[in-house]
Chains A and B, each alone.
Chain A
Amino acid sequence: GENVEQHPSTLSVQEGDSAVIKCTYSDSASNYFPWYKQELGKRPQLIIDIRSNVGEKKDQRIAVTLNKTAKHFSLHITETQPEDSAVYFCAALEGGNYQLIWGAGTKLIIKP
């Protein structure tokens, strides 16, 4: 079955700098890759997603890139702000299977 590894587990960056979180997956049939943000004490919320037929997707300061050959996808946050501090989860949707496989999460800390 699918396995998703997420790195790093904790990332500390200076406010205004960029942050990159990377996930690798094992099942080449996976075709949908979302990223969720969970602020402390709150519910996870979808921030961006990408399908396997697209290499990159942007939404203001966040972007996701997908490398199908290497089977990895990354979340990029530019010009980080204090409100970006949260735990970020990646996931992969198994092809033909109604199950999302989740990464273990990355705690992003924005230093003032």
Chain B
Amino acid sequence: KAGVTQTPRYLIKTRGQQVTLSCSPISGHRSVSWYQQTPGQGLQFLFEYFSETQRNKGNFPGRFSGRQFSNSRSEMNVSTLELGDSALYLCASSPGGSGGLEKLFFGSGTQLSVL
């Protein structure tokens, strides 16, 4: 079974630009969640999607948005990039359903650098 795939692996953007990150979950998994990871800051929850519906959202500004398609693939968008948005963005998939966010499988992440 293929794992969670995130593209692109690396991104370099400048302030004010926008960016779209992609995540393909494990086949059969219907839940996709997104996390921001910065050195020393652990994992910050962005949002979670299940069957194309956002079930929960973390404490991030509205510049961070996402969506999920009918094939469970998910995208995350960040508009008007700021220097502080530089981070590793991880997505994770899980079977979802009543189990919610149990047994997450993470992708390798997208390393975003904002200059």
- Chain A interface (Cβ < 8 Å from any Cβ of B): 32, 34, 36, 42-46, 49, 89, 93, 97-105
Among residues 90 to 115 in chain B, which have CB atoms less than 8 Å away from a CB atom of chain A?
90, 100-109
Q: A89-B42, A104-B42, A105-B42 are in contact. Are A49 and B56 (CB under 8 A)?
A: no
B interface SS class: strand
Taking CB atoms, residues of chain B closer than 8 Å to A99 are 45, 48, 56, 58, 101
B83 at the interface (CB under 8 A from A): no
Closest approach, in angstroms, between the C-beta of B65 and any C-beta of chain A? 17
Residue of A89, A100, A105 contacting most chain B CB atoms (<10 Å):
A100
Closest to B99 in A: A32
Taking CB atoms, residues of chain A closer than 8 Å to B102 are 32, 34, 49, 93
- Chain B interface (Cβ < 8 Å from any Cβ of A): 33, 41-45, 48, 50, 55-56, 58, 90, 100-109
| B101 adjacent to A89 (CB under 8 Å) | no
- Top 3 nearest A-B pairs (CB, nearest first) are A43-B106, A98-B55, A104-B42
Given contacts A93-B101, A104-B41, 12 further A-B contacts (CB under 8 A): A32-B102, A34-B103, A42-B108, A44-B90, A44-B104, A46-B103, A98-B101, A99-B48, A99-B56, A99-B58, A100-B33, A102-B45
